[in-house]
Structure 1
Amino acid sequence: MKTKLLLLIPVLVSFMACKKIAGTDVGGGGTTTTTTADGYSSDHIHNLNLIYFVPNDLDTLPGYQKRLSDLMLWGQKFYKDEMTRNGYPDKTFGMFVNSANRVKIIVIRGTKPKSSYPYSGGSGAVSQEINAYFAAHPADNTSEHTLVIMPRYEFKPDGTPSGGPFYGTGKWCYALDYEGLDIKNLGKTDADGKRFSVWFGGMMHELGHGLNLPHNCQKVSENETLGMALMWAGNGTLGISKTFLTATDCAILNVNQIFNKDNKTYYGPVKASITKIHADYVAAKSAIVVSGKFNSDTKVNSVVYYNDPNVNNEGTGVNHDYNAVTWESKAIGVDSFYVEMPISEFKYKDGSPYELKVKLVHDNGNVTETIYNYEFVNGIPVLKFSSRDEFSKQGWNVINVSSQETAAENGNAANLIDGMGNTYWHSQYSGTVAVYPHSFTVDMGTAKLVSGFSISQRSGLQRAVKDFEIQYSTDGQNFVSAGSLVLANANGAQYFSLPSKQSLRYIKLIAKSSYDGQSFAALAEVGAY
C-alpha cells in the first residue's frame, strides 16, 4: 500500500539487523537475546531493518546516529506504551541497540545522485539498491519490515526541508532526516518544534504503515480523552498534544512479526472468508450492530471494523481513508464475531456513503478484508448487506468456462465457488485477451429448490462486471433465462431473487459489460439460496 505523508501544519502544506552470534536465555523466561558481531543486541529474533540511504551527491547529516537513535528509542517506547494501554503489555517493535544507547543503523551509499531518487516514484530505485545490499549481506535482513531514512535534499526559503520518498509501500516505509530532527525539539511549540512534530510525527506515521497499519481516525469521544490518532493526523501533533494508537492499530500490531519474540513463520498465505454477516441499526442501542461467521485456515485473533466515509465525494481506499472510524472485537470461538458501534462516535452522518471493511486479524500477521457498502439517511445508517441462508457449495463444480486467467495470476473459475471472498475468477488477459461476453456454468451436483442467486464482485471492485444475464437448467442442456440484470459496482454479496422457487441444478452466468469499459471481467463468488 502506498501512502503519502499528510502535512497538516498550515505553514508546511507545500510541502539493520546483523548476524546472531550469541543466544542467551534471559531470566528463565524463554526470552532470547540476540547479539551482533559489532555489539548490538535485541530480545527479538526479528527486528526493524533501519537503513540510512545516502544518494552519491550527498552525505550523512551531522550527528545522525545519536539524533535518530534518540528518536527511534522514543518511538519504540511510544508504541510500547500504546500497546500496553490497549491490553498488550511489553510489546513493541524489535530493534538492535548497543550499550551506549545507539540504535543499529545500516548506512548504504546510493549509486546515483538525489535526482534519481525523487519523492514521486523514487522508492523503487532506493529499494532496488537496498535489496541488492541485503542479497549480499543476508544476515543484515532479519525481518519483513524496513524503515528507510534519507538525508534532506535541500531547504525551502521558509526553512522547510524537502527530499526523497516519504511514504509507506507495503512493509517498507520511507522518511526524511534533517538537522533539526532532534529530540531536543520534541514538545516545542515554536517554528522549530512545529516543524519537528510534522517530520518526526510523519516518520512514526509512515512507520505505522510499514508495520501493516492503514489510516484510521479517533472516535468522537476520543478527541478529548486521547487526542489525535497517529494514523490519522497525529503526524502533525506528536509531541505537541495528545497522540495515540487506536485499539484497531494495536490489534494488528499484536500479531506483527517484529512485535513478537518467537521465530514462527509470519505472513504465509491465508485462505479466509466471511461466510455469514448480519448488520442492522438497533435504535434501542443507537448503534450499528454487526455479527457473523467466518472460515479461515489460520487462527483469527481479532476482528476489526473500518467505517470509511466518502465525504464530499473524496473517494475511498488508500489516501482517502484518513477519516475511517474503527472498532475492534475479539474472535468468538473459532468462527464468529460481534460488535456494537454507537453512531454517536461517527463524525459524518450527513448522507455520505460508507465502506465497512471487516478485517480478520490472523495469528500469522496477515489481515484479510471483506468490504460492504452502506449509507446514512437522515442521520440513520441503512444497511442492506446482511447475507442470506445460502446452500453449501460442497460438491459444486464450474464448467463450460469461456476463459480464465491461470498464467499471470490465479484467476481460476473454481475460485467462484471456494467460499473465499479474497479469491476470484478473472477472464483471460495473458496471450490473447478474451472479450465480452464472458460466461461460465455452475453445476451444483444435484437439483435444489432455489429462491435466488448471490453474486459478489471482486473485493476492491477491480474489473467489476456491470450488465449480465442469469440462466438456469435442470439438465445442463436446456436453459431458462432469469433475466438481464445489472450488478451494482459495490462490494459484498448481491442477491437476485426468482419470482418463485425453481428446481434447478445448473446456473449459467453471462457477463455482458464492465464498469471500466474494458474487456476484462472478475467476480469473487457465485451462490444460490
Structure 2
Amino acid sequence: MKKKLHILTTCLILLLINCREEDLSQQENPVASTQRASKVTSGIYESEMPYNLNVVYFIPSDVSARPDYERRVSETLLHAQEYYRQMMYNWGYGNRTFGLLKNPATNRIKINIINGALPISSYPYSSGNQILSEVNAWFANHPADKTSDHNVIITATPSINTEIPYYGLGRNFFVGDNEDSDVQYFNENSARGNQAKAYMGGFLHELGHGLGLPHDALAKSLTNVAGYGTSLMSWGNQTYGYSSTILTKASCAILNNTQLFSTIAKPTGYFYTGSNGFKITSINHSYINGRINIWGTYSVDAPINAINSYFIPKDSYYHAVSGSSNTDGTNTFSTYVDVSDLYFTEKTYSLVLQAQFVNGNSNWVTFPFTFKNDIPDLNFPVNKDNWTVSSSSQYAAYPSSLAIDDNINTYWHTNYSAGSVQTDPIAGQPQNFPYYFDINMGAIKGISGLSFTQHQGLVRTAKTTVIYTRATTNDGWKHQGTFNLTNTIDKQYTAFAQKENCRYVRIVFYSSHDAQPYIAMPEIGAYE
C-alpha cells in the first residue's frame, strides 16, 4: 500500500546549537550501535531487531474479531514503523525504528489474540489496568510470545464510537480496531479517508506514549516552516495526513535509548533498571534580546547521552516547546528559547531538564518561572520543603513558619502583645527593631539572592534589611549586603554580588515603611 508520509527535507539551514530544535539534517547524534543482531524468528514470523513490539488483539467476550483485522492491524503498524523510521533518520539517529515480527511472505505481522473475560461494557475508557492485568496473565502463560517490555493492546469494537481505553499507560498503549477505521483509505479525500487519517494520527500519538514520549511542541516560529509544522506529541494526532507532522528531536532522543529501537540484544535487566539519579548542581540564566538562556552543570550516577529541555506552560502540556542536546562528557548543559517561540506569556511555566540514560530510563529536574508584562522572571525558587525558620519575635497566631508556606495571604508578624519583649538580639528588649529572621535550608544550596513578598494590604511592610549567610554553624556570618525593600505587593528580589553556597541565612530587619516597630511578611524565599 502506498503510504502518505510527510517526508522531511534533509538539506536545511545550518544546525542551531544547544537544547533547541536543531534543523532536520544528517547530524551526528549518539546513535546506538547499528550492528544488527541475528535475525529473530517466531514460527513464520521474523525480525531483524532483537526486541519487538508485542501486538495484542483483545476481544471482549461479547464482541467478535472485526472482519479483515489481520490486514488492517498489520498495515497500520507497518505504516507506523515507517513513520518512526523516517523521523529517526531525519534527526540523525540512523535508519532505525521499532521492531515488529512479520511474515515476509504475506507482509502480515504477528498478532497475539487474547479473549477478554468480560463484555465490552466492562472495559470503559478507565479500564486500562483491568485489560492490562488480563494481558499480563496471558503472557505469563505464553512467555515465548513476549518479545519486549512494550505492548500495543488493540481492542475489537463493534463501532468506532464504542468507549474503550485509548491512551498510553506505562510501556503500553491502548487503541481500538473497527473496519470503519482502515488505513488503506488514508490517501482518499473522502469521509472514510478522513476517518483513516484521524485513526492513524491517534495511533501514532498513543504509540509515542507507549514508547515513553511526553507531550511536547515545536517552537511557534516553525509551525509554518516547510518540513516542520506540528509535533506529533502535541496536537499532531489531528494534523497528521493533512499537514506536516513530525516528531521533535527531544522525542527522538528518548527513542534512541528505548528498548524497541535497540539494534543489538543487551544483557537481561539492562533496560529500565536502576535509580538513575540526575541532579542539577548549578544553574544560570539570562534574558537578552527576547531570548531565555539557561546553562549550568549536572551530576548523574549512570551514563547519559542527551539532555532534553521542555518549557511547559501551566495546564498546557501540548504547548511545551522542547529541545535536546547531546552530552559531551563535561557535565555541562545549555539551552535557550526565544520568548516569541513560546505559545503563552500570561501563564506560569516549568522548565524541565530531562536526562536520557542509555538504558532507556529518564530522570528530570523542574524549575518554575513566571512572566510579568511578557518578561520572564527567571529567578528559579529554591525548594523550601526541608526549611526550618525561627525569628527573634513573633506573635503566637502569626509564627515565622507562615513566611515560608507559599501562601501570600498568611504572614509572619512580629509580636505586638502589650508588654512583650524580644528573645534576640537583646533578650528582654521591648518589641522594636532590629528583628532577626533565621533560615536553615536543610542542606547547602547555591543561591543568588532572596525573594520577599510584602503584606498584601501594604501594612507593616519591611524596608531596610541586612542579609548574612554561612555554610555551617562553625562559620562566621558573611555579609551579603544591605537592601531597601520597596512598598509593593509584587515579589521582589535582593541579589547577592555572586552565587553563594550556604545552608543558613540570617535576615535582619531594621525599619518599616509605616514607621511602626513591627513587620508583617507573607513570604520569604531564595532563588538560584
Are the structure 2 counterparts of residues 32 and 485 from structure 1 closer, same or farther at C-alpha, using a change threshold of 3 Å? same
2:325 corresponds, among 325, 329, 340, to 329
Deviations 1:460-479 (A, max 9, x none): x9xxxx9999xxxxxxxxxx
1:250 equivalent in structure 2: 252
Determine whether 1:94 maps to 2:99. yes
Q: 1-side partners of 2:194 and 2:144: how far apart?
A: 38
Are the structure 2 counterparts of residues 373 and 468 from structure 1 closer, same or farther at C-alpha, using a change threshold of 3 Å? farther
Tell me by how many angstroms 1:379 deviates: 2.6
Deviations 1:270-324 (A, max 9, x none): 12211111122122xx3111111111111121111111113xxxx3xxxx41111
Deviations 1:348-402 (A, max 9, x none): 23x2211111111111111111111112223332200288xxxxxxxxxxxxxxx
Tell me by how many angstroms 1:231 deviates: 0.6
Determine whether 1:359 maps to 2:363. no
2:58 corresponds, among 53, 61, 69, to 53
Are the structure 2 counterparts of residues 254 and 241 from structure 1 closer, same or farther at C-alpha, using a change threshold of 3 Å? same
2:342 equivalent in structure 1: 346
Are the structure 2 counterparts of residues 187 and 468 from structure 1 closer, same or farther at C-alpha, using a change threshold of 3 Å? farther
- 5+ residue gaps in structure 1? 1-27, 155-159, 388-415, 426-437, 441-455, 470-480, 508-525
Determine whether 1:32 maps to 2:38. yes
Which residue identity lines up with residue 204 of structure 2 in the other structure? M
1:293 corresponds, among 287, 297, 305, to 297
Q: 1-side partners of 2:113 and 2:412: how far apart?
A: 56
2:468 corresponds, among 480, 500, 506, to 500
2:285 equivalent in structure 1: 279
Tell me by how many angstroms 1:107 deviates: 0.7
Q: 1-side partners of 2:447 and 2:254: how far apart?
A: 26
2:517 equivalent in structure 1: none
1:446 equivalent in structure 2: none
Determine whether 1:137 maps to 2:145. no
Question: Residues 63-462 of structure 1: matches in 2 within 5 Å?
Answer: 63-99=68-104, 100-119=106-125, 121-154=126-159, 160-224=160-224, 225=226, 226-264=228-266, 265-269=270-274, 270-283=276-289, 286-310=290-314, 315=315, 320-349=316-345, 351-385=346-380
Q: 1-side partners of 2:448 and 2:179: how far apart?
A: 55
User: Retained in 1: the 8 A contact 2:217–2:231?
Assistant: yes
Instruction: Provide the TM-score with structure 1 as the length reference.
Output: 0.67
User: Retained in 2: the 8 A contact 1:110–1:129?
Assistant: yes
SS of 1:255 mapped into structure 2: coil
Q: 1-side partners of 2:210 and 2:371: how far apart?
A: 33
Are the structure 2 counterparts of residues 164 and 29 from structure 1 closer, same or farther at C-alpha, using a change threshold of 3 Å? closer
Are the structure 2 counterparts of residues 483 and 215 from structure 1 closer, same or farther at C-alpha, using a change threshold of 3 Å? same
Instruction: Provide the TM-score with structure 2 as the length reference.
Output: 0.67
Tell me by how many angstroms 1:495 deviates: 6.5
Q: 2-side partners of 1:333 and 1:145: how far apart?
A: 31
SS of 2:310 mapped into structure 1: strand
User: Retained in 2: the 8 A contact 1:55–1:110?
Assistant: yes
Deviations 1:108-141 (A, max 9, x none): 001111121111x211110111010111111211
Which residue identity lines up with residue 163 of structure 2 in the other structure? G
SS of 1:328 mapped into structure 2: strand
User: Retained in 2: the 8 A contact 1:385–1:493?
Assistant: no
Q: 1-side partners of 2:362 and 2:60: how far apart?
A: 35
Are the structure 2 counterparts of residues 344 and 496 from structure 1 closer, same or farther at C-alpha, using a change threshold of 3 Å? closer
Are the structure 2 counterparts of residues 61 and 273 from structure 1 closer, same or farther at C-alpha, using a change threshold of 3 Å? same
1:397 equivalent in structure 2: none
Percent of aligned pairs with the same amino acid: 32
User: Retained in 1: the 8 A contact 2:470–2:504?
Assistant: no
Tell me by how many angstroms 1:170 deviates: 1.1
Are the structure 2 counterparts of residues 467 and 258 from structure 1 closer, same or farther at C-alpha, using a change threshold of 3 Å? farther
The alignment's C-alpha RMSD in Å is 3.4
Tell me by how many angstroms 1:197 deviates: 1.7
Q: 1-side partners of 2:300 and 2:73: how far apart?
A: 41
User: Retained in 1: the 8 A contact 2:312–2:319?
Assistant: yes
Tell me by how many angstroms 1:190 deviates: 2.4
SS of 1:139 mapped into structure 2: helix
Are the structure 2 counterparts of residues 468 and 368 from structure 1 closer, same or farther at C-alpha, using a change threshold of 3 Å? farther
- 5+ residue gaps in structure 2? 1-33, 390-403, 414-434, 452-465, 476-501, 506-528
1:435 equivalent in structure 2: none
Q: 2-side partners of 1:344 and 1:263: how far apart?
A: 44
Worse-superposed segment, 495-504 or 198-207: 495-504
SS of 2:473 mapped into structure 1: strand
Are the structure 2 counterparts of residues 207 and 296 from structure 1 closer, same or farther at C-alpha, using a change threshold of 3 Å? same
Count of aligned pairs between the two proteins: 386
Q: 1-side partners of 2:213 and 2:94: how far apart?
A: 19
Are the structure 2 counterparts of residues 103 and 339 from structure 1 closer, same or farther at C-alpha, using a change threshold of 3 Å? same
